[in-house]
Amino acid sequence: MRIVYVLTSLGMGGAERQVVALAERMAGRGHTVAIMVLRPRLGEEWPTTLYVVHLNMRRNPVSVFAGFARARRFLKQFHPDLIHSHSFHANIFARLLRVSAPVLAISTVHNVYEGGWHRMIVYRLTDFLSALTTAVSNAVAERFVRLKAIPKQKCHVVTNGIDTTEFAPSPDRRVQTRAAMSAGEDFIWFTAGRIAPAKDIPNLLRAFAQAIAGYPSAQLWIAGEGAPTAAQENVHWLGLRRDLPALLDAADGFVLASAWEGMPLVVGEAMAMQKPVVATDVGGVRELVGDVGVIVPAKNSEALAASMLALMRQTIEDRRRTGHASRSRIENEFSIDSRADDWEALYRTLTGRTRGSHR
């Protein structure tokens, strides 16, 4: 098959990381793959060896019109069997592109919140231009169906997948990273994600302040693009980092304090790295964590702090057992290779192409 993935940007977000991983696996299976990016190239992007076309679209009508023209020319040359877009702007762009460049289009929604009511109306009005809309979790699917942004009969759930080869624990790397980060014997909490309202960092900081009152020998490491929201004792703002496996190795637990999510990739990555997880009950987090992690209500710093403190007071053996169970869950239910199987089967069903048939 010939597949074009459409993204708003290749910035360092979880959705972008997931799409690049999927696209590379499709290429590895013999499909011809390209990535179309709406925005101009960024200073920090996920690296890929695949062909990437940047449409260089900005927020003005002339740039948008030029972007559509550039996309049509590319599709005419590439002759895709399908285009698979991700998140609001790319989804709507790909749907409208079909008006002048007829090709099978699949949309994917990555978050329970992709904007206000006006965006839900736009989703509803353009639905006829998409063969199918998928969601990364049941929670996302249920909300978009309830808001009538997606018809139930055209909504399908395909969860995120984790690269369990890249995210595999290494005792030696743990020792080296903890030494480099001056972790000492402290309990290290780690979280990662763009510093944005969805991540509710203020909730996390309040919870951590309460937790270390009962367990002072602890640190909180926060990795992610964006400006620090506050200075606080034992809290380290790491900025944008590309060495997540090493940082997760060094950590003793992973914490997510989000106000809303789709299915956060970093939680699955932490589980693959055998880290106990404490997370808020938002989006598809409960579907991902199952019974191997601790789930607390969103926007409740007291509950989050209590669970963090309880985990720090566990024995090392108890935390290790939880970590092993977490990795097993990811390997058995959320590996990127099994998810690539799901996508490939879905693509073949929608295009009517059978395994082994090629252009």
Mean of the per-residue pLDDT values for the chain? 95
Q: Where residue 44 falls among pLDDT bands split at 50, 70, 90?
A: confident
Query: What's residue 1's pLDDT?
Result: 95
How many beta carbons lie within 10 A of that of residue 13, not counting itself?
A: 21
Query: What's residue 233's pLDDT?
Result: 87
Does the pLDDT value for residue 355 go beyond 70? Answer: no
**How far is residue 197 from each of residues 16, 21, 23, 174, measured CA to CA in Å?**
19, 26, 29, 31
Q: How large is the average pLDDT for residues 152-175?
A: 97
pTM attached to this predicted model:
0.92
Nearest to 214 by CA among 318, 319, 300, 312: 312
pLDDT tens sequence across 181-228: 999 999 999 999 989 999 999 999 999 999 999 999 999 999 998 878
Bridge pairing between strands 253-256 and 187-192: parallel
DSSP letters, 287-350, are: HHHTTSSEEE-TT-HHHHHHHHHHHHTS-HHHHHHHHHHHHHHHHHH-BHHHHHHHHHHHHHHH
Question: From edge to edge, which strands make up the β-sheet containing 104-109?
Answer: 51-54, 32-37, 2-7, 82-86, 104-109, 132-135, 155-157
Query: What's residue 225's pLDDT?
Result: 87
Q: How large is the average pLDDT for residues 312-333?
A: 97
Q: How large is the average pLDDT for residues 305-318?
A: 98
Q: How large is the average pLDDT for residues 78-96?
A: 97
In the chain the domains, ranked by start, together with CATH numbers, are 2-161+336-351 (3.40.50.2000), 171-333 (3.40.50.2000)
Three-state DSSP state, 83: strand
Question: From edge to edge, which strands make up the β-sheet containing 253-256?
Answer: 235-239, 218-223, 187-192, 253-256, 277-280, 294-296
